[in-house]
C-alpha cells in the first residue's frame, strides 16, 4: 500500500493561493469524509495551517491516490485543478514519510524550528482519528511523526533561539522583564509587517495591553482589532508613552518619531518605572540619545540582528542534528512497514512446510509398518530438521530484505513460487516502487 502526500506550502504558493485551499477547523470532519469516500483512498489525514495545506492518503496504487487527492482539492475548494498544478507537490511513500517527519520537526517551516507546527500536526491527526478516516498505517505514521517532533526538540536546540527581528524583539523584552510580560503595557508604533508580527507575538506571550499607533489611524485600528489591542492616534503619543512599559517602533518615516526631549518630559511623570525601547526601523524611529536617559533601555535593529544571526547558526546546526534523527526514524518506520508485508509471508511459508511435513510423515510411517515410539520420534525429528534447515536461509534473507526497498519483491516471489496466500490485495507496501518512495518536490 502506498503513502501519498499532496499539497502546497509557503515555498510553492503565495498567500492568495494558500488561503483558497485552507480548511476551516469546523469543516474538516466533512472534508475528511469526502476524501475518504474517493475511489482508492484507504485512509486520509488533512494538515491545514497558514503556511501549508497537505493531504496524506494510503492507497493501493500511487496514481490513484494522487488523482483522488488532487481531484478532491479542486472539487472541495472549487478551483480548477489545472490552475493548481504549478503550486502542488506530490510525494510517495519514503519521501512522503520523511516530509511529514520534517514538518513535525519544524524543518519545513517558514521559521526554522518553530514549535507551533507540532501541535498542528497532532491536531490534524486527532481530527482524522476522531472522524474515523485513518487506518493502521496512518495511525502509526502520525504517532511516530509526533514522537519525532518531540524528540528533535528535546535532543536539539532548534526551537530555543529566535530567528526573526520581530520575534527577537519580543524575546528580548521577555528577557529584560524576566519572562513576565503579563500586566505590561506595550506601545507598538507602526502597522506594517514587522510591527504586525511583533504585536501578534506579544499577544501570544501573554501581554494583556497592546497599544497600536500609526500615521494612518485606520491601519492602526485594523491591526489593533485583529489582536484585541487598542488603537491610539500618533499625535497623542505623550499620553500613552506615560503608560507604556515597552515601546516597539517600526515605521517608514524618514525622521525620528520619538526624540529625547519628548521622552524626558514623559519620564518625569514616572521616574522610578523602567522603560524599554526597541527600534526595528531603518531609518531609525527613536533618537539614540533617548538611551542615555535614566531608567531607559534602548535597542536598535543591529542589536537584534546580531542575536538573529547567532541564533540562525545555532538552529542550522540543530537542523543538521535533526536530519540525522529523522533519517533513523524513517528507517525505523519502514522496518515496521516492511514487517507487515514479510511476516505474513514467513508465517504462511512455515505453515505450508508444516502441512507438507505432517502429510509425508504420515505416509512414510504407514509404508514402514510397525514402528517403535523412538523410531517415530527419530523420523519426525529428521523431517523437522530438513524443513528447518531448508527454510532457514530464505527466512533470514527475507527478514533482511524487509529492511530494504526490495523487501516486498522477495515476499511476492515466495508467495508465487510456493503458492502461498497472496498479501497483494491488502498488503501494506505497494508493488514496484512503493518502498523506494517515488514522487518529487
Residue 230 confidence (pLDDT): 94
Name the pairing type of β-strands 439-440 and 89-92. antiparallel
Average pLDDT over residues 138-157: 96
pLDDT tens, position by position, 122-132: 999 999 999 99
Which residues have a catalytic role annotated? 50
Within the chain, all domains assigned CATH 3.30.460.30 are found at 2-160+316-333
H or E segment to which residue 366 belongs: helix 301-368
The whole-chain average pLDDT of the chain stands at: 87
Residue range(s) of every CATH 3.40.50.720 domain in the chain: 165-294
Question: According to the CATH classification, is domain 2-160+316-333 in 3.30.70.980?
Answer: no
- Confidence grade of residue 219 (pLDDT, cut at 50, 70, 90): very high
**212 pLDDT above the threshold of 90:** yes
Instruction: Tell me which CATH code domain 165-294 carries.
Output: 3.40.50.720
Q: Confidence class of residue 159 from pLDDT cuts 50, 70 and 90?
A: confident
> Is the model's pLDDT at 405 over the cut of 70?
no
- State the pLDDT at residue 431: 37
Residues 320, 391 contacting (CB under 8 angstroms):
no
Q: Identify the pLDDT of residue 162.
A: 63
What is the model's pLDDT at position 437?
Answer: 36
Q: pLDDT value at position 424? A: 42
Q: Which range, 202-206, 318-322, 399-403, is most confident?
A: 318-322
The order of strands in the sheet holding 41-48 is 41-48, 52-59, 2-9, 89-92, 439-440
Q: Is the peptide bond before 283 cis (omega within 30 degrees of 0)?
A: yes
At residue 296, φ and ψ (nearest 5 deg) are: -115, 135
What pLDDT score was predicted for residue 425?
A: 38
> Can you tell me the distance from the alpha carbon of 40 to that of 36, in angstroms, rounded to the nearest whole number?
9
Give the lowest-confidence range in 131-145, 283-297, 362-376, 418-432: 418-432
pLDDT in tens, 235-260: 888 889 999 999 999 988 888 999 99
Residue 297 to residue 162: CA distance in whole angstroms = 20
Judged against a pLDDT cut of 90, whether residue 188 lies above it is answered with yes
pLDDT tens, residue by residue, 63-97: 999 999 999 999 998 988 888 999 999 999 899 99
pLDDT tens for each residue of 295-318: 999 998 888 877 777 777 888 999
Of the candidates 213, 38, 13, the one whose C-alpha atom is nearest the C-alpha of residue 110 is 13
Q: What does the pLDDT average to over 158-186?
A: 80
Concatenated DSSP letters of 237-267: HHHHHTT-SEEEE----SS-SB-HHHHHHHH
pLDDT-derived band at 233, boundaries 50, 70, 90: very high
Dist CA 53 CA 9 (whole Å): 6
Give the chain's largest Cα–Cα span: 118
Q: What is the pLDDT of residues 30-71, one digit of tens each?
A: 999 999 999 999 999 999 987 899 999 999 889 999 999 999
Q: Provide the pLDDT for residue 99.
A: 98
- Per-residue pLDDT reduced to its tens digit, 304-361: 877 777 777 888 999 999 999 999 999 999 888 877 778 888 999 999 999 999 999 9
Q: DSSP letters along 109-162, please?
A: SSSTT-SHHHHHHHHHHHHHHHHT---HHHHHHHHHHHHHHHHHHHHS-TTSS-
**pLDDT at residue 427, rounded to an integer:** 44
Amino acid at each position: 500500500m502506498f503513502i501519498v502526500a499532496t499539497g502546497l506550502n509557503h515555498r510553492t504558493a503565495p498567500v492568495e493561493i494558500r488561503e483558497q485551499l485552507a480548511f476551516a477547523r469546523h469543516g474538516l470532519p466533512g472534508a475528511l469524509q469526502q476524501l475518504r469516500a474517493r475511489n482508492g483512498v484507504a485512509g486520509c489525514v488533512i494538515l491545514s495551517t497558514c503556511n501549508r495545506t497537505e493531504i496524506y492518503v494510503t492507497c493501493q496504487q500511487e496514481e490513484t491516490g494522487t488523482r483522488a487527492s488532487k481531484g478532491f482539492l479542486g472539487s472541495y475548494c472549487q478551483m480548477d485543478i489545472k490552475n493548481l498544478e504549478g503550486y502542488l507537490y506530490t510525494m510517495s511513500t519514503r519521501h512522503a514519510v520523511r516530509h511529514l517527519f520534517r514538518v513535525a520537526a519544524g524543518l519545513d517551516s517558514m521559521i526554522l524550528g518553530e514549535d507551533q507546527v507540532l501541535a498542528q500536526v497532532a491536531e490534524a491527526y486527532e481530527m482524522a482519528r476522531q472522524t474515523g478516516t485513518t487506518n493502521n498505517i496512518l495511525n502509526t505514521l502520525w504517532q511516530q511523526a509526533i514522537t519525532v517532533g518531540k524528540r528533535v526538540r528535546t535532543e536539539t536546540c532548534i526551537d530555543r533561539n529566535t530567528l526573526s527581528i520581530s520575534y527577537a524583539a519580543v524575546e528580548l523584552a521577555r528577557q529584560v522583564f524576566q519572562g513576565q510580560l503579563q500586566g505590561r503595557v506595550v506601545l507598538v508604533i507602526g502597522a506594517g509587517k514587522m510591527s504586525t508580527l511583533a504585536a501578534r507575538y506579544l499577544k501570544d506571550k501573554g501581554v494583556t495591553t497592546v497599544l497600536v499607533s500609526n500615521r494612518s489611524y485606520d491601519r492602526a485600528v485594523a491591526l489593533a482589532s485583529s489582536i484585541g489591542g487598542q488603537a491610539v492616534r500618533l499625535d497623542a503619543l505623550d499620553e500613552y508613552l506615560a503608560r507604556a512599559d515597552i515601546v516597539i517602533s517600526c515605521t517608514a518615516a524618514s525622521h525620528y518619531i520619538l526624540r529625547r526631549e519628548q521622552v524626558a518630559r514623559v519620564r518625569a511623570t514616572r521616574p522610578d518605572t523602567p522603560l524599554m525601547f526597541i527600534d526595528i526601523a531603518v531609518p531609525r524611529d527613536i533618537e539614540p540619545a533617548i538611551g542615555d536617559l535614566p531608567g531607559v533601555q534602548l535597542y536598535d535593529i543591529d542589536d537584534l540582528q546580531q542575536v538573529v544571526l547567532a541564533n540562525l547558526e545555532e538552529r542550522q546546526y540543530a537542523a543538521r542534528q535533526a536530519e540525522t534523527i529523522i533519517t533513523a526514524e524513517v528507517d525505523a518506520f519502514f522496518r515496521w512497514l516492511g514487517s507487515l508485508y514479510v511476516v505474513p509471508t514467513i508465517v504462511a511459508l512455515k505453515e505450508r512446510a508444516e502441512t507438507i511435513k505432517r502429510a509425508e510423515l504420515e505416509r512414510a510411517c504407514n509404508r514402514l509398518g510397525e514402528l517403535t515410539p523412538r523410531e517415530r520420534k527419530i523420523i519426525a525429528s529428521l523431517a523437522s530438521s530438513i524443513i528447518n534447515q531448508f527454510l532457514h536461509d530464505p527466512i533470514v534473507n527475507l527478514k533482511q530484505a524487509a529492511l530494504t526497498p526490495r523487501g516486498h519483491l522477495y515476499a511476492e516471489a515466495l508467495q508465487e513460487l510456493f503458492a502461498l496466500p497472496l498479501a497483494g490485495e491488502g498488503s501494506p507496501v505497494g508493488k514496484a516502487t512503493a518502498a523506494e518512495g517515488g514522487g518529487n518536490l
